[in-house]
Every structure is written in C-alpha cells, then in structure tokens.
Amino acid sequence: MLVFTEDNVRDILSISTDMSFAEVENCLAKQKEPVLFVKKKDEILGYIRAQDLAGEVQNEGQDRQFWLSHLIPLHFAYHIYQDVSVSDVFKLLGEEVVIVRNKRDEVCGYLRREDILIELLRQDGHHIDLFRTILSSIPMGIFVVDRQGNIVNYNDEGLRMIRWEKEQLHNHPARDIFGPEHIDRVFATGDTILNQLHLRPEMGILADYSPILTPEHEVKGVIIVVQDLPMLEEMAMELDYVKDLNTDLKAILSTIYDEILVVNPKGELLRFSDNNVINFRQGDLKDLVGKNLLELEDKGIFKPSVTRLVLEQKRKVSVIQDVSNGRKVLAVGNPVFDEAGQIERIVIASRDITETTKLKSELREMKKLSQQYKEELESLKSRHTLNRSVVYCSPKIDRIMREIEKIARFSSTVLLTGESGVGKEVFAKAIHQLGVRSNRPFLKINCGAIPENLLESELFGYEKGAFTGADPKGKEGYFQKADSGVLFLDEIGEMPLSLQVKLLRVLQEREVIPVGSTQSVRVDVQIVAATNKNLEQKVEEGSFREDLFYRLNVIPIHIPPLRERPEDIPVLAYYFLQKLNETYHRDIQLSPDALNLLEVYSWPGNVRELQNIIERAVVTTEEELIQADHLNRFLQWKKASTKVKPIITNLIPLQEALEDVEEQLILLAMERYKTTTMAAKVLGISQSSVSRKYQKILQKQASMHA
C-alpha cells in the first residue's frame, strides 16, 4: 500500500476561466508549476500543461478573456485517495496527472507519473521489487540518479534506447550520457525540465528531468524519463539527402540568370541566391539579411516594391522597378501559402532589363507594330461573325461584314460593286461561308472572260449532240452544278445582251433549259453578282437590261477602294507578308517607314496591287527588313498635270510670305506622308532640312498655345 499525504503531493495551482492571459502568465511565473488546474467556481474542470501555453500569443493592446476550453487542450485528471493499493499502481502509471483526495474527500494536491515512481523508491525498501517490476513494464526509458549524480536504477527499455550494457551503466555518472547542464539545474533549483533532445551517433532520445524531493523539499536525486526517437538512422539518411538537395539547389540557382530572394510575410529578407548579377541594391546583400525590404522602397532605392504588392494582392505580381542608379529591373514575386491560406514566404526573381530597354527605336517600333498586327489578325480570326479570308480592321469593311452576316441567313440575290481589285470575290465567298448554304457548292464564272458562244453552254449546260465538238454525253452547266449552293457571276456587266434574257428567266423561274434541249431543269441557286462597271449608266446606254438590273440589285453592297480605308493597308500588307514567309520559308518584316509609305500611297489597283507589291518586294529583297526606299521603286506615283498656284489677296513682306508658304508645305507633306524621308522627296529638299524645319514649326505652335 502506498500512502500519499499533503507532504508528498504537489500543491494545486488553479486558474479560472474568466482570467486574462496576462493574469495566467503571472500566476505561472510565480509558482513555476508544470501543471495548471482550471476551475469554474470550486469545480476542477481539468488541467493544462505549462508547455501548452508556450504557443499562445496575446493580442497586442487587448486584455481578452482567456477561455481555456476554447483555445488550448484541456486534459482531464484521474482522482485517487491517499491510500493506493499495489494493484492500482499500474493503473496510475498510465495517467500523466492524478488528483489526490484525503479521507474527507477533499482535494489535497496532485501527483505526476514521476512522483509515483519516486514514492515507490522513497517509502523504505518494501516496494523495491515492485518498483523494478514497474520499471521493466514501462515502455519509456527510466533512469534514477542519486545525489552524487550516478545512475542507481534503470529499466531495460532505457538500456536499449541509449545502447549501453548493464555492467557499464550501474553507478555510472549520468552526466556522461545525458545533459549535465540539465542535471545540475534540477539539483540546484528543483525545476522539472521537459522535452530535451539528445542526438548522438549511438542514440537519439527525448528526455524529461524531474527532481526526487525529500519531505523537506530538498532534492535528493533525479529521475530521467526518456523516449526513443524512432528511425534515427533513416532520419540521418534523410538529413544527408536534404543536404544533397540543398547543394543541388545552390548549384541550380548559381546557373540561373535571375537573382532569387526569399522574404518572410513581414518583408524581411531571409536568404538569397549566390548569383548576384543585378547588383542594384546598395551594399552587400548579406548585410540585408533580416532587414525589411519595404524600407528600401521608402528610402527611394527602388520602386515599386514587389514584396509590398504581393502582400497587398496575395497573388503573383510582375513589375518593372526603377532603381536609384538608373537601372531597370524586372521583378516577379510569387507568394507561398501555408495550410491556412496565409502567406508564408515570398520568392522574388529579379532580372536586369536595362540593356533590353535600350534597343534601337526603329526595331522596337517594328516589333510593336508586328505584334499589334498579329493580335489584330488573331482577333479577326477569332470573331465568329467574320469570314477567315476577309482581313480588315477599318470601320467601313466592318459595317459591310456585319451586313453580310445578316443577309447570309437568307438566299437573296446580292450585287457587289466596286473598283477592280477590291476583293469582290472574297466577299462573295464570305456570303457563302457565313450563310445557310456553306456546306453546299460555291462556283465562280467570269462573264467577261468567256466567249459569248461558249458562255451560254457553260452557264446552262447542253444535251448530247447539241453542236459540233460537244461532249457526246452532254454536260451540266454551272447552274446545275451549283444547285442548292451559291453561284458567283463575276463581271456581270460584261455579259452579252442575248444571254441577259436567259439569265433573267433563270432568276425569275428558278429553272434552266440546257442548249439543244426543250426540257427545263429546276435549280435552287443563290446568285451573287459582281461588277466594276456602273450598271445604271449601262442601262441608260442600252447595253444592260433594266429588268435584269433590278432583279440583280436586290441587296446591293458597295466595296470601297483601298484608298478610302487606309486602316486596312497595314493589316493586309502584314497578312500577305505572312503568307509569303510561310511559302518561301523566310522571316521578312516591314520597317515602320515602309508601312507609312504604303499607307499614303493611293493604290489605284486596290488590294490586288498591294498583294503584288508585297510579293515583288519579298522576291527582290535580300534583307530581312524591307525598307521604304526598296518599296518605293515599285509604286507608281501620279504627278499632278497642272500645278496649283497660291492666290495672293494682300501684300505682305516677301520673306514673311516665303516663311508662311514653307511652313504650310512642310505641314501638308508631314500630314500626308507621315515621315520626314518621304516629305523630303516630295518637297525636293534634304531629310535633315525637313526634320529641322518641322521641329521648329512644332516649337512655334507649342509656344503659341502655352
């Protein structure tokens, strides 16, 4: 029987649930007890360990209520009476803390597992055998150290954990195996020291140091409770593996051009890569470890701070930083989140892009324009309402394409008008591809390119033996071949009058009569006609039937010439250039001056002429960049037949008049031709003179508006 009295139990230190965090801390600091009991009124709810409070953080500036049952684990204590039978000792060792009650059922204190073991050793020698039996049954290692610091008792589990033999261990100084500073501290202060890690090649353990106290509370020995660290060898191997990974990571980072920084959520620099290629920060980066990078932005060393932006936006951020030494740096900040979704680290990759930003202005402008045209082309391709073969960006063509999108849902006859070369066939195909007949045939016939005697048989077909040289099997005409589809009649204004009558009948009756036949054939064809002639004028002249004109002119669409939609010139030029590059496996680009030259040219041959000019320039150039001078050789500039003389209505000084005329001419030339090179050619003076005079004019205008 073990007897526990008020002299050999620990005093209960209690706290209430309505105490503040500061009050709990003060109470713990004064008493230095390893366990705090939580009371509500006079009832003990349970206990918490001092180590449970270590991770708790008080909100700054607040005296919050410390509701322990909600904030930290609350453990429940086992209650015993003063007299404990031997059979109950094994049960008690399964509890971390037990509360002791006296015979009046009053709480007189509490015991920890180590205290019970100590009492077994203290109360005479009657329980030595039981003590040793208990020691051997405990899965943890137990070592008893006497006042001289020697190990006087232990269990088999402890021997196994420290890798010692019985003959070596008995009466051996505990300081040779365990932490001497911890043993000395327990003897000196009587404190209990928990969770001390001891790692050596031969062992890996976690040790608790508890004092053995006399009734007068003097330390007469120490009990050391140890737990084995499992898989120590595997941990050592893993540590070696981590070291190898760290070495590999440093090697990889040293080969990366970017400078890598790792920052904590406070903005403090934790570590950086050895490859310090940027060198834009003042001083050595080693001096900045632990310092707040946000302060560098406040000091004007660089701006903006990618660390600050990542913390504000909680996402990946890329910025161009302006550095105080005049450099430009591309900084990319990536947040690393913990399991709670809070930013744990920020990894910053920085790269000096100063030299990149100092590329030649012409090359930069060319790439910018090229990218713009590529994006416009991709935008055009992605728009589901537009035909892929129609390349444009002008509002005029956009309105036409929207109109085509509407009428394509029907099978009405469409008349396309416009100058030669504007691309009427392209718009006819757009009507077919955007319409309900897109999966049916699309046939084209040029009414002005086929002789009159053959055009009829091509359009309407013929029966076998219809005329000499005819196919003995007969032949279907374009109307029959295009049945349920679209027939594009190009150059309809060139159709002979004799065939206009038959065409009118087909449009009215929806049937054709092949040459040499008397039987009509039903056809369902949508007619799209096109002409570069003024059909109304031809009707007045009698060369085109008025009734056919009105039958064709159901939905008239006029395609404007290229000179009236200059926005389409760069897009079309780039489109044709891209096609030629793909065909000839080249990578030729147009210079900004060349594009400006194309925009100011009148294009009498419209899109067809533009396509031919681009192909001619690609075939004849040996450079990767087509310049304006090379392109200008292929353009046919029209000169005015008569010169317009300025009209003078008032007398002014001759020099002033010359200056006014010169200013007007230079402004007009720059407005029309965009570049000083072309303006100089038109005005017949040097490019440097145009540039100098133009800048002077702009300065004069600016001062007048100031």
Sheet containing 97-101: which strands, arranged edge to edge? 78-81, 97-101, 107-112
Instruction: Tell me what pLDDT residue 399 has.
Output: 92
Residue 312: is its pLDDT beyond 50?
yes
- Residue 340, both tokens: 């709670």
The per-residue pLDDT for range 370-422, each reduced to its tens digit, is 787 776 665 455 454 444 568 888 999 999 998 998 888 888 999 999 999 99
* Residue found under tokens 């002014």: 652
- Residue 296, both tokens: 């560098």
Calculate mean pLDDT across residues 575-583: 92
- Residue 107, both tokens: 């709480």
Q: Name which residue leads in pLDDT, 80 or 426.
A: 426
Is the domain covering 395-562 a CATH 3.40.50.300 domain?
Answer: yes
Instruction: Tell me what pLDDT residue 611 has.
Output: 93
Calculate mean pLDDT across residues 452-473: 77
Calculate mean pLDDT across residues 163-190: 87
Calculate mean pLDDT across residues 249-271: 77
Residue 36: is its pLDDT beyond 50?
yes
Give the pTM.
0.41
Q: How confident is the model at residue 91 (pLDDT cuts 50, 70, 90)?
A: low
Closest by CA to 409, choosing from 425, 388, 392, 385, is: 385
- Mode of pairing for the β-strands spanning 486-490 and 442-446: parallel
* Residue found under tokens 């090697």: 251
Calculate mean pLDDT across residues 153-162: 84
Instruction: Tell me what pLDDT residue 65 has.
Output: 47
- Residue 506, both tokens: 């087909």
Instruction: Tell me what pLDDT residue 63 has.
Output: 42
Q: What is the DSSP string of 125-138?
A: TTTHHHHHHHHHH-
SS3 112: strand
Q: 2-119 with 395-562: one CATH topology?
A: no
Residue 463: is its pLDDT beyond 80?
yes
Least confident segment among 41-50, 54-63, 120-129, 586-595: 54-63
Contacts of 543 (CB under 8 A, 6+ apart): 497
Instruction: Tell me what pLDDT residue 540 has.
Output: 92
Instruction: Tell me what pLDDT residue 487 has.
Output: 94
Is the domain covering 237-358 a CATH 2.30.30.790 domain?
Answer: no
Residue type, 42: D
Residue 233: is its pLDDT beyond 60?
no
Q: Give the CA distances from residue 588 to residues 200, 296, 574, in Å, rounded to whole numbers and listed in that order.
A: 70, 46, 10
* Residue found under tokens 């406070």: 266
Q: Are 576 and 615 in contact (CB under 8 A)?
A: yes
The per-residue pLDDT for range 424-453, each reduced to its tens digit, is 999 999 999 888 888 899 999 999 888 887
Q: Name which residue leads in pLDDT, 259 or 491.
A: 491
Mean pLDDT highest for which of 136-140, 301-305, 578-582?
578-582
Question: What gap in Å lies between CA 359 and CA 203, rounded to an integer?
Answer: 64
Instruction: Tell me what pLDDT residue 574 has.
Output: 92
Q: Name which residue leads in pLDDT, 706 or 425.
A: 425
Radius of gyration over alpha carbons of the chain, in Å?
49
Residue 549: is its pLDDT beyond 90?
yes
Instruction: Tell me what pLDDT residue 129 has.
Output: 56
Contacts of 443 (CB under 8 A, 6+ apart): 478, 481, 482, 485, 486, 487, 488
Residue 295: is its pLDDT beyond 70?
yes
Calculate mean pLDDT across residues 294-304: 78
The per-residue pLDDT for range 598-653, each reduced to its tens digit, is 888 889 999 999 999 999 999 998 889 998 888 888 888 765 444 555 656 567 88
Q: Which CATH number fits domain 2-119: 3.40.50.2000, 3.10.580.10, 3.20.20.370, 3.90.1280.10?
A: 3.10.580.10
Residue 141: is its pLDDT beyond 80?
yes
Q: Are 443 and 485 in contact (CB under 8 A)?
A: yes
Q: How confident is the model at residue 48 (pLDDT cuts 50, 70, 90)?
A: confident
Q: How confident is the model at residue 189 (pLDDT cuts 50, 70, 90)?
A: confident
Question: What gap in Å lies between CA 305 and CA 461, rounded to an integer?
Answer: 78
CATH number of 140-230: 3.30.450.20
* Signed CA dihedral, 505, 510, 514, 517: sign only: negative
Instruction: Tell me what pLDDT residue 492 has.
Output: 93
Residue 33: is its pLDDT beyond 50?
yes
Q: Are 411 and 528 in contact (CB under 8 A)?
A: no
Residue 324: is its pLDDT beyond 90?
no
Q: Name which residue leads in pLDDT, 393 or 322.
A: 393
**DSSP type of residue 177:** T
Q: How confident is the model at residue 58 (pLDDT cuts 50, 70, 90)?
A: very low
Q: Name which residue leads in pLDDT, 623 or 201.
A: 623
Instruction: Tell me what pLDDT residue 413 has.
Output: 93
The per-residue pLDDT for range 494-528, each reduced to its tens digit, is 999 888 988 998 999 899 988 888 888 899 999 99
CA trace torsion 324, 325, 328, 329 (10° rounding): -80
Q: Name which residue leads in pLDDT, 282 or 343.
A: 343
Instruction: Tell me what pLDDT residue 122 has.
Output: 60
Contacts of 280 (CB under 8 A, 6+ apart): 302, 323, 325, 327, 329, 350, 352
Instruction: Tell me what pLDDT residue 551 has.
Output: 93
- Residue 145, both tokens: 């150290």
* Residue found under tokens 């690609």: 618
The ranges assigned to domains in the chain are 2-119, 140-230, 237-358, 395-562, 654-705
The residues with which 444 forms a beta bridge, in sequence order, are: 488
Residue 272: is its pLDDT beyond 90?
no
Question: What gap in Å lies between CA 397 and CA 386, rounded to an integer?
Answer: 11
From its phi and psi, is residue 377 left (phi > 0), alpha (psi between -120 and 50) or beta? alpha
**DSSP type of residue 493:** G
Q: Are 319 and 331 in contact (CB under 8 A)?
A: yes
- Mode of pairing for the β-strands spanning 475-476 and 461-462: antiparallel
Calculate mean pLDDT across residues 67-84: 65
User: What is the average pLDDT score of the chain?
Assistant: 80
